[in-house]
Structure 1
Amino acid sequence: MAQLRTVGARATGIANIASDGTVLDTWYPSPALLNDADSLVDGTERVSARELSDRFLSIVGMDRDRLVELVPVRTTIADLSQPPRDAHDVYLRLHLLSHRLVRPLELNLHDCLTHLVPVVWTNKGPCLPDNFEFIRANLRSRGQIHVYGIERLPRMVDYVVPSGVSIAEAERVRLGAYLAPGTSVLREGYVSWNAGALGPARIEGRLSSAVTIGEGTDLGLSATLIAGRDTGRNRAPMRVGRECRLHPSAGVIGVDLGDRCEIGINVMLEPDTAVFDSRSGNVVPAHEIAGQSDISVANEPHSACPVLRPR
């Protein structure tokens, strides 16, 4: 099991803050890890104009059409193993993941969504939902308004574009996804926050938050990997090893897989799913085979439940 990182982090960014004080998002273009965690103090502070580059100065200020102020901020996290404190803190942690400075499940994101609010994500910037129709009229002077979604987390590519990856549909990868170089997310693929591929992988199915897959793993069309529910909005960590293959419409919920595993078409495994283990001749619940390597689980014509065979 991966250990939580006890290092700290710091970054300077631009926050979109609504007129009522709500933090809509924070963009950190160059986050950094810091090892001297004992000397750090948690928190976010405004950055004076004297400390900003010309590029940052050109961004900050009031956007009167969106009723939003773009504010330069500096956020410090003393210890990534501790839970996040506020929205700025959450956004910095998500940037660390998508910049590949830390891996999923190696930093504390417990209850992180409680610090975020639903946001209208548009091509003109984030907006509050409650007054959006008024804002839409203001923004029409800037051209056509495209609304990408109304949710707590934005698309990754609007904040981070990692090198060496392929993403066919930007909407389907959240900020906080971790994509190792060589990874391809096909058009029907989806990767949530605090999830992703630790090595080159092919993703045509769905990865929920708190799920990682190893190098060489192939997630087929409509295949699904879902971490089990924990407390609140949190999910229990789930890991799939190297060189695994999930065939189309296969699914695994809350069951770890080792290396070189294969899950057949339409097989759905949950912890209590009955599986016939051909090695012992017994029917066992799927949680008893969790983490095993070099196995194949598939539906067979004369079996009432999926059959496990050595691969």
Structure 2
Amino acid sequence: MTTQLFSLAIGVGTQNQQGQWLEIFYPQPLLNPPAALAEAIAGPLGHAGGNHSYKLDACQLASLAEAVQAAGYKAEAELLQRLSHSAKPLVATLLENDAAPTSTPEAYLKLHLLSHRLVKPHGLNLSGIFPLLPNVAWTSEGAIDLGELPDRQLEARINGRLLEVFSVDKFPKMTDYVVPSGVRLADSARIRLGAYVGEGTTVMHEGFINFNAGTAGPGMIEGRVSAGVFVGKGSDLGGGCSTMGTLSGGGNIVISVGEGCLIGANAGIGIPLGDRNIVESGLYITAGTKVALLDEQNQLVKVLKARELAGQPDLLFRRNSQSGAVECKSNKTAIELNEALHAHN
């Protein structure tokens, strides 16, 4: 029977003293791998379907490399041969479908698929991922179980070393696992594994990209892009897609940002933006924010909630400096925009 898999990866990871996985590095995760390659790996593992992870030893991995070589996949076989020399624990993760992850190796595979640009944010089922990601110390000697950290720190000092703890978190930084092509990352610690960083993206020192979020690129990120947000393509010149504020998503909410948008310093959004939108510095727009729609003479046409303007192009959101009211103007006439929104609803 032909083996069809949603995703497949062989990785090297870290376990604590109880044999629990702390993290996994997958050098070459595959999405919808060829059936022949999937069969060459699934067969020797005795994979009978479903989503499973298999801890491997060096001999098993060498056998997998032979099977993959015999199936005609030379580059993949060479990678498996290299992994077979690992002194760290090895794991094979096979996903038959995009179901919610049930183990740490499955969770890490899905984060890798995002950061390798194989799937865009909100393109994977990540339900229940947080309990599967242990909170660990990310150190100069790799991931360490928090319960084992004091002994490791003491051991390092006794042997004349300094064990530096960079962070204590569920998510590692992306660049310890993959560095996407064509990007500039001023502070790589501010981009988590599971972020999607598109070609041509620049993330400045105060920029932050969470997991299951990112930018299609090219564009400039100077603020926070939280989970559930995906920033569309833009240009750094002539009103490119520049975010200096906060883009908030989360849960099942997807906050998309169209092409050529500008979100000013200390601004933020809780609604999707269409192409060429501008949000004034310091202005935070939530779905329920009351917005005054203005015409070309700055006369009020209608007051509506911001969610009714979600996804509309060519909008300027600003705050009236005298009244404090949130206002919106458009390159279209406000009357035309109002009529279009009414027809859409």
Question: Which category describes the TM-score, using the shorter chain as reference length?
Answer: 0.7 to 0.9
**Partner residue of 2:219?**
201
- Which of 255, 273, 285 lines up with 1:257 in the alignment? 273
Report Cα offsets for 1:71-117 as digits up to 9, x if no partner: 1110011112x211211001001111111111111111112112111
Which amino acid is the alignment partner of residue 291 of structure 2? V
Query: Residues of 1 paired with 2:179 and 2:162: CA distance?
Result: 25
Q: Is the 8 A contact 1:90 1:112 kept in 2?
A: yes
Q: Which has the higher contact order (CA 8 A, sep 6+)?
A: 1
Q: Is the 8 A contact 1:209 1:235 kept in 2?
A: no
**Deviation at 1:263?**
0.3
**Partner residue of 1:131?**
148
Query: Residues of 2 paired with 1:112 and 1:247: CA distance?
Result: 32
**Partner residue of 1:17?**
15
Sort the Cα spacing of 1:143 and 1:235 in 2 relative to 1 into closer, same or farther, 3 A: farther
Query: Residues of 2 paired with 1:168 and 1:7: CA distance?
Result: 37
Which amino acid is the alignment partner of residue 271 of structure 1? A
**Partner residue of 1:3?**
none
Q: Secondary structure at the match of 2:162?
A: coil
What do you get for the CA RMSD once the two structures are aligned? 2.1
**Deviation at 1:303?**
3.6
**Partner residue of 1:244?**
261
Q: Is the 8 A contact 1:98 1:178 kept in 2?
A: yes
Work out whether 1:27 is the aligned partner of 2:25.
Answer: yes
**Partner residue of 2:74?**
none
Report Cα offsets for 1:247-297 as digits up to 9, x if no partner: 1111112x1111111100111101111111114611211111111111010
**Partner residue of 1:307?**
327
Residue ranges of structure 2 left out of the alignment (5+ in a row): 40-47, 63-79, 235-239, 332-345
- Which of 284, 291, 299 lines up with 1:275 in the alignment? 291
Query: Residues of 2 paired with 1:131 and 1:30: CA distance?
Result: 30
Work out whether 1:219 is the aligned partner of 2:242.
Answer: yes
Higher strand share: 1
Q: Is the 8 A contact 1:119 1:128 kept in 2?
A: yes
Give the TM-score normalised by structure 1.
0.87
Work out whether 1:287 is the aligned partner of 2:307.
Answer: yes
Which amino acid is the alignment partner of residue 55 of structure 2? R
Query: Residues of 2 paired with 1:218 and 1:142: CA distance?
Result: 48
Sort the Cα spacing of 1:106 and 1:7 in 2 relative to 1 into closer, same or farther, 3 A: farther
Residue ranges of structure 1 left out of the alignment (5+ in a row): 1-5, 61-69, 229-233
Sort the Cα spacing of 1:7 and 1:300 in 2 relative to 1 into closer, same or farther, 3 A: farther
Give the TM-score normalised by structure 2.
0.79
Query: Residues of 1 paired with 2:253 and 2:171: CA distance?
Result: 20
Q: Secondary structure at the match of 2:311?
A: coil
**Deviation at 1:142?**
6.7
Report Cα offsets for 1:134-174 as digits up to 9, x if no partner: 11112333732221111100000001111110100011000
Work out whether 1:43 is the aligned partner of 2:52.
Answer: yes
Q: Is the 8 A contact 1:245 1:263 kept in 2?
A: yes
% of aligned pairs identical?
Answer: 32
Which amino acid is the alignment partner of residue 283 of structure 2? V
- Which of 104, 114, 135 lines up with 1:87 in the alignment? 104
Work out whether 1:160 is the aligned partner of 2:178.
Answer: yes
Higher helix share: 2
Bigger radius of gyration, 1 or 2? 2
Work out whether 1:171 is the aligned partner of 2:189.
Answer: yes
**Partner residue of 1:118?**
135
Query: Residues of 2 paired with 1:7 and 1:219: CA distance?
Result: 38
Which amino acid is the alignment partner of residue 121 of structure 2? P
Q: Is the 8 A contact 2:215 2:232 kept in 1?
A: yes
Query: Residues of 1 paired with 2:112 and 2:266: CA distance?
Result: 31
Q: Secondary structure at the match of 1:297?
A: strand
Which amino acid is the alignment partner of residue 247 of structure 2? L
Q: Mapping of 1:53-64 within 5 angstroms?
A: 53=80, 55-60=82-87
Q: Is the 8 A contact 1:220 1:249 kept in 2?
A: no
**Partner residue of 2:200?**
182
**Partner residue of 1:109?**
126
Query: Residues of 2 paired with 1:44 and 1:142: CA distance?
Result: 38
**Deviation at 1:12?**
0.4
Number of corresponding residues: 289
Q: Secondary structure at the match of 1:307?
A: strand
